[in-house]
Copies of this chain bind each other. A is one copy, B any other.
Amino acid sequence: MASGDEAWLETGRVRLADYGIVTVDRARRRGPHGKEGSFVILDAPDWAVVVPALERDGRRLLLTVRQYRHGSRSVSDEFPGGVIEPGEAPGAAAARELLEETGYQAARLVPIGSCSPNPAFMANTFHVFAAEGLELVSAQSLDEHELVDVEAVPEDELLARVGVAPWDHALMIAAAFFYERYRAGSVS
């Protein structure tokens, strides 16, 4: 009997649109039950985010960035991150976004998890890093339409904020999940 554990076969695909941030395809696929269906697939470059930790006066602080988000039409508190450029390694993108949005450079970058933003219809991957040994080396260097406020918040205080607006970006909640596992020692 056909089950949810089996792959579908792609029998055709057309590009419907390219919006810059995402492309839209329509794919035809045949399932393990023998039936064919038509599915809208969104692709995008992979994304990378970094949880930056710095030690100050014996306390561990996390850097958070606040910015207006055009999808939700609201101000959102997040970890630094963004789109991975063509040919760029995920860790390099995380380091670059950290530098651009906060001016900080990290001595160590640790991959702590990756996941699919929405496997139901999105094809790309989201990569999460922890950054340690931070040093302020420059000013912010933002894109034309970016306005980003940086804040350093004690780790426990920041993690307590996660999950409630303005700390309610699902990918950032996933990043906090990976970070908590990393800090608890279950991810090395």
Contacts and interface: CB of A to CB of B under 8 A. Distances in A.
Interface string A3-30: 1111110000000110111101001010
| Copies of this polypeptide in the complex | 2
Interface stretch (A87-95, A120-128, A130-138): A120-128
Contacts of A27: 70
A35 interface: yes
Given A70-B121, A163-B181, 7 more contacts: A4-B66, A6-B68, A8-B68, A21-B121, A22-B40, A27-B70, A32-B147
27 contacts: A4-B75, A4-B148, A5-B149, A6-B68, A6-B75, A7-B73, A7-B74, A7-B75, A17-B17, A19-B40, A20-B40, A29-B70, A37-B145, A42-B71, A71-B116, A72-B122, A72-B123, A113-B163, A115-B169, A117-B117, A118-B170, A119-B168, A163-B178, A173-B174, A173-B178, A174-B174, A174-B177
